[in-house]
Structures are given as C-alpha cells and as structure tokens.
Chain A
Amino acid sequence: MIKFLLKGLMRDRSRSLFPVLTVFIGVFLAVFLYSFLNGMMSDMVKSTAHYQTGHLRIMTQAYAKEANQNPIDLAFIGVDNLLQNLNEKYPEMIWTPRIKFGGLLDIPDENGETKTQGPVSGMAVDLFSDSSPEYKLLNIEDAIIRGHMPKQSGEILIGDEFAKKLKIAPGDIATLISSTMFGSITMANFKIAGTVQFGIAAMDRGAIFTDISDIQFALDMQDAASEILGFFPDDVYNDEQATLMATSFNEEFKNVDDQFSPQMGTLPEESGLTDYLAMVDSMAIIIIMIFVVAMSIVLWNAGLMGSLRRYGEIGVRLAVGEDKGHVYRTLIMESVMIGIFGSILGTLAGAGIAYLMQVYGLDFGFLFKSSSIMISSVYRAQVTFGSFVIGFAPGIISTVLGTSIAGIGIYKRQTSQLFKELEV
C-alpha cells in the first residue's frame, strides 16, 4: 500500500512537489530558528557564567548588595582558607577567585607625563598557577590578537580596541590608577604583554586582565578577592546540585549579623536570568505554534487545490466502489509521507546552515558599540539533539492537519451524482 502511494507521489510531481516544498521551508525555518535561539541562549548563559557569575558565586553579603559597582572595599578577606574549605567540602567543583576593579589607565610619555588616559574595568584572575581553570573558562589564549600571554608578574592583557584607542602596543608601560581596598588612591605600573578580543563589546572596549596576585598587591587586598566562582567540571550548569550546594554552604558560613561573612548564590540567582530564560522558552513555543498554524493553513489550501485537481480521480475511485474512508486514509497516508520527506529535507538544511553558523558565527559587534552587557557580539547557533526533532512534529502535523481539513470534501461527494459528474 505504502509502496503504491509512494509511486503515485513520485510519478505525479504536482501532487508532491508543492507540499514538500512548503514543509521543507517551514521545517527549515523552525530548525534554524530553534538552533539560533538555542545558540544565543547558550552563549548568553555561558558568557554570564564564565565572565560574571560562575555556576556558583561566593561574595560577602555587603559586596553582594552592591556587586554591580565592584566595591572592593567590601571584598572577602581570607580567601586561601575558604578555598581550602571549598575544595574539601565540594571536591567535584572547580573554584577560582577573582577581583573586579575599576580605575584609570594612564599612559606616560617619554618624560613620565600623562600622554593618554582612559577609564578601565579590570578583571584579575589566576593566570600563573598550573591548576588555573581561567585559561579555559575565559578562552584567553584564543582571544589574543597581538603579543603573548603574561609570562611574569607585572604583565597584563588589554582589550585590543582599548589599546588602539590609547595608542599603545605590547611592550608599552601603562599605569593603573585606582583605589585600594581601604580607599586610598593607588598607582601601579604594568607592562602590556598582549591585546585581546573576546567578541564581547563591554570587555573589548575598556578591559584589562591581570594576574590576581598583582592586583592583590596593587589594591592592598592581601588574601582578599571580590568573589570566588565555582564551576561544574563539565561546564554544564546543574540547577538541582547548585541549589543544594548553595543551601548547605549558606547554612554553614553565612552569618546574617556579619555583613562580611560569605554567601553563595547560583547562576540564575546571581545573573537574574531565571525570568529571561523562562521568557525565551515561552517565545520558542509561541514561534513553533505560529509556524504550525501558518503552515497548516498553507497546506490546507494546497490540499484543496489538490482535491480540485484530483476531483476526477477521487470520483472514479469512489465510483468503482472504494470506500470514502479508505480514500480519506490514503490521502492522510500520502500527507504523512510528504510530511516526513519534507521534514527530513528541512531538518537537514536547517541544521546544516545552523551548524555553519555555529562554527563561524556572525559578528553583530556594530550593534553593541555602547553596550555594557556581558553578551557576545558574535552570534552563533547551536545544533543539538532537539534541532533534529523540533521540525518533525510540526512538519507532519501541519501536512496531516491541512490534508484532513481539505479531505473532508470527499465525504460530501454523492455516489448518485458521480457518473453525472464524470460525464463532464
């Protein structure tokens, strides 16, 4: 039966080509949009985790209240001891301390006078220890445009765009003017080891990266850090485990009466992404729903046109005694085959294009010139198992739905009228 229907579809292209094309375009768009949305969200969550919050973040309670202002005077003191505790209590996690700071980067001329100056936002991370996870997390080595990684204390990396703006290059000396943990103005000289570009406008515009020990010394923050970030070893956020860890940590270490006691928060809590992720999920469902409805209407129309074209054929089939239900079912079977075929083609094309975008990405940096959000300006899609599944249901449902509605007309045909109709 299936073979018979398939032959019919292959031989009568006008019966299959338009519906297959419709399904193909619809599924292609659904798969591509799904993968694109997936990639954007995944990028956003990863960027947020890697550059801002980790999967878990520990700060003092006082710091947490003003975290967006990087108040280093409220940083946590006693990092070594806490790290030891964390490694004993949660050995499966990767823990790393960071300091986020602000200030001015001052470039001297040959007389030591200010040549250029610009506001800077810095991140101090563990650059030199062998076990440091930062190279992988921040993807630093791949981000280097000019120069090399800092090899010794006193060397820093600077955003490539920022370096061009300040007219400095690897090998030049820059003076960081900032405040110590206790509020004194402080200056520290650094040698530019290299320039970096992360594809995140907020960082490329005015950021420097230093080793944490250099900044601890420069900002008078011995054994202190703004925050300690925790990452799952597979770099995939697990909300259930993270919540459990945060609860047990806060029960043990958080003291409501001591504003400088540490508190642990999870990625969604720290980033405020919870509502955003829920909204994006709803948006994905809405997009798919609109796609199914729109495609069903198109295929219904295609079904109607097909029925008109096949008016005579169906009439003969009914006249020779074929049951109306059987005719209806064969049409549905045909639509399932068209749906499957169109969906396979659409999925392959959608996933293929999405994969290319996953590998190469599209740079929308010009849209983010003044953005301060830690979001990548290079858009990448992400092809997942879901990408191969997401198009099939709407692809098949819409063809079946379209044909089922159009096919109802079969039941309206009167056997007594058939021969009269066929004479015409």
Chain B
Amino acid sequence: MRNILIGFILLITTQSLAQSPSGDDVLKRLDQNMTSNSKVVVSKMIIHGRRGSRTIESKSWIQGTDQSFTEYLAPAREKGTKMLKLGDQLWTYSPSTDRTIRIAGHMLRQSVMGSDLSYEDMMEDPELHKIYSANIIKEEILNDRLCWILELIAKKEDVAYHSRKLWVDKDRFVALKETRYAKSGKLLKTTEIKEVKKVENRWVPMRIVFKDELKSGDGTEFMVDSIEFDVAIPDYIFSKASLRR
C-alpha cells in the first residue's frame, strides 16, 4: 500500500513537471542537448563587415566544457593560426611570428577574427545553468516553432552578460533566438539560429547569425560544415606544445 502511494505521488510530480517545467529545468535540458563529452567541428564564419564580407574556415576539437583547440584553415592569411582554451586560459599562436601569446585582460573583449564574437564569448562556460538562474516568462511562436521564453539572470558578478533572454524550442531544446544584456539593461548581442539539424540523436544548430549590437555591420554567420560527437581526441591536442606543431 505504502509503495503504491509513493509511486502515485511520483507519477503526479513527474506529470506536472512534464506539463510545465521550471526555467532551470528547461535550461538544463538545453545544456544537455548542446554539450557533449567531446566533439570535432569543421565550420565556416562569414563576417559581414562595413566594407564587405570575409569567410574564415576552421576546425575545432572540443573536450568537455573547458578544453578546446581551434586551427584556422582559410583564408591564406589566417591559415595556421591556432587557439587553445584550457580552463580559464586562452592562448593564440601565430605562425608568421612563431609566437604563442596568452589572451587576457582587455584583449578578451576583442573580436575573434573581426567577427561579432569576442574571445570572452569563447571563454564562457557553455553550460548556462551553472552561471544563470532561469525563469520562463511566456510562450511564443518563433519561426513556426512553439518556444518558451526564458529570462536568465547571472548568479555571480564576473560574467560577460548580466542577463539573457532565450527563445527555446519546446520540442528540440534549441535556443532559436537569444538576446544578451549588460547590467544596465543595454542590449549587447543577438543570436539567431537559422537552421537546425538532427545529428546523432541531438538537435544541432547548423547556421547561426551573431550580431554585436555595439558594432556596425550586418553580423557574422557561423555555419557548421561537419560535426562529430563523442570522438576520441588525443590528450596532446590540448597542450601548448600542439600550438607550434
């Protein structure tokens, strides 16, 4: 009898969660979908600046949430430039000077390759639920998809964006649109996902448009050419020595 009662209570709780999950639950589901043990991504970045567009190609090896290694493949000027993220440290290697420089302090606010993304964005923990507390403020249809609108407020002070608003696809747990704000409430960045594809049982954004609202230009398109999840990546990749290889 006691077991039946507990089972009944659990069923009711689970059902009610399934019907109207909390903001934090949605955020956790979103993080689960977006992160993996490891992944290898070949991508293209089209930067639409004030004086025209440039395309930059790169290949990234990502392990968990705090190790990543990126090698730029094109154009010729950027080819061979590498970037290594180890925890809260970021290093860049330039083949023309054969120098490895740590990017720190105000340099983190600079744009990556002239795009609408900053190094600070790259350094951010991809698991948003660790940094933000979330609330569902309403539901809305965006690009024919029913979405929760999540309002995220930072749990700590030293974050790049004090608050965010996310339009999370209710079925696919992908943030179709995101706006990021400063503590003053000023809009700093906008992200829109234009294309989503199912890869190995997870929904992956394949084309994202980033727009730095403090910068002129028409934003940066980020396109995933190929993506592989849970790939075995050798440890040496995530070492400073690999930058000069």
| B-binding residues in A (CB < 8 A) | 62, 73-74, 77, 104, 106, 108, 112-114, 175, 177, 179-180, 182-189, 220, 259-260
* Chain A residues closer than 8 Å to B47, beta-carbon distance: 182-183
Asked if residues B114 and A175 are in contact (CB atoms below 8 Å), the reply is no
Report Cα–Cα, A68/B79, bound state, in Å.
32
* Minimum C-beta distance from A76 to chain B (A): 11
Using CB atoms, name the residue of chain A closest to B119: A185
Q: Is the CB of A188 within 8 A of B96?
A: yes
Determine if A186 and B101 form an interchain contact, defined as CB atoms under 8 angstroms apart. no
Report yes or no: A112 in contact with B94, Cβ–Cβ below 8 A. Answer: no
A42 shortest CB reach to chain B, Å = 38
* Chain A residue at minimum C-beta to C-beta distance from B100: A112
Does the CB pair A114–B101 fall under 8 Å? yes
Q: List 8 A-B contacts (CB under 8 A).
A: A73-B114, A106-B101, A108-B99, A175-B97, A175-B99, A185-B103, A187-B101, A188-B96
The answer to whether B114 and A112 have CB atoms under 8 Å apart is no
Of chain B, the residue at the smallest CB distance from A260 is B51
| Complex: A187 Cα to B113 Cα, angstroms | 12
Bound Cα distance A186, B77 (Å): 10
Contact indicator A180/B114 (Cβ below 8 Å): yes
Q: Which residues of B contact A182 (CB under 8 A)?
A: 47, 49, 51, 54, 114
Q: Is B89 an interface position by the 8 A CB rule? A: no
Q: Which residues of B contact A106 (CB under 8 A)?
A: 99, 101
A104–B99 alpha-carbon span in the complex (Å): 14
Q: Is the CB of B92 within 8 A of A185?
A: yes
- Measured in the bound complex, the distance between the Cα atoms of B98 and A114 in whole Å is 13
Q: In the complex the two chains form, is A186's CB within 8 Å of B94's CB?
A: yes
A186 neighbours in B (Cβ, 8 Å): 94
- What distance in Å separates the Cβ of B68 from its nearest Cβ neighbour in chain A? 17
Shortest beta-carbon distance, A217 to chain B, in Å?
10
A108, A184, A260: the one contacting B78 at CB < 8 Å is: A184
Bound form: Cα–Cα A303–B54 in Å = 84
> Which residues of A have CB within 8 Å of B103?
185
Whether the Cβ atoms of B49 and A184 lie closer than 8 Å is no
In the complex, the answer to whether B49 meets A112 with C-beta atoms within 8 Å is no
The reply to whether the CB of B50 lies closer than 8 angstroms to some CB of chain A is yes
Name the CB-closest residue of A to B83. A185
B163 at the interface (CB under 8 A from A): no
What is the minimal beta-carbon distance from B82 to any residue of chain A, in angstroms? 12
Whether B113 pairs with A183 at a CB distance below 8 angstroms is yes
Question: What's the nearest-Cβ distance from chain A to residue B167, in Å?
Answer: 28
Judge whether A112 and B98 touch: CB under 8 Å. Answer: yes
Nearest chain B CB to A106 CB, angstrom units? 6
Nearest CB in chain B to that of A178: its residue: B110
A189 touches B102 (CB 8 A): no
B111 at the interface (CB under 8 A from A): yes
The 10 A-B pairs with the shortest beta carbon distances in the complex, nearest first, are: A183-B114, A187-B94, A182-B114, A184-B113, A187-B97, A189-B97, A184-B114, A183-B111, A175-B99, A175-B97
B170 to chain A, nearest CB (A): 37
Is the pair A189, B113 in contact by a Cβ cutoff of 8 Å? no
In contact, A185 and B110 (Cβ under 8 angstroms): yes
Closest residue on chain B to residue A183 by CB atoms = B114
A225 CB to nearest chain B CB (Å): 15
Q: Which of B104-163 contact A (CB under 8 A)?
A: 107, 110-115
Asked whether, in the complex, the Cβ of A179 is within 8 Å of the Cβ of B99, the reply is: no
- In the complex, the chain B residue whose C-beta lies closest to that of A106 is B101
Least CB distance, B78 to chain A, in whole angstroms: 7
Collect the chain A residues with CB atoms within 8 Å of residue B111's CB: 183
Q: How far is the CB of A160 from chain B (nearest CB, A)?
A: 25
Contacts of B94 in A (CB 8 A): 186-187
Q: Chain B nearest CB: distance from A257 CB in Å? A: 14
Chain B residues numbered 170-196 whose CB sits less than 8 Å from any CB in chain A: none
How many angstroms between the C-alpha atoms of A108 and B94 in the bound complex?
14
Q: For the complex, give the distance between the alpha carbons of A113 and B50 in Å.
A: 35
Q: How far is the CA of A334 from the CA of B107 in the complex (A)?
A: 75
Give the residue name and chain of the A residue nearest to B115 (CB): A183
Residue numbers in B under 8 Å from A74 (CB-CB): 50
Minimum CB–CB distance from B184 to chain A (whole Å) comes to 22
**Residue numbers in B under 8 Å from A188 (CB-CB):** 96-97
- State in angstroms the CA–CA spacing of A326 and B111 once bound together: 88
How far is it, in angstroms, between the C-alpha of A188 and the C-alpha of B110 when the chains are bound? Answer: 18
The answer on a CB contact under 8 Å between B49 and A73 is yes
Q: Which residues of B contact A183 (CB under 8 A)?
A: 47, 49, 111, 113-115
Q: CA–CA, A172 to B78, complex, Å?
A: 26
How distant is B122 from chain A, measured CB to nearest CB, in Å? 12
Pair B102/A114 contact, Cβ less than 8 Å: yes
Which chain A residue has the least Cβ–Cβ distance from B114? A183
Interface centre among A62, A106, A179, A183, by most chain B C-beta atoms within 10 angstroms, is A183
Residues on B with C-beta less than 8 A from A113 are 100
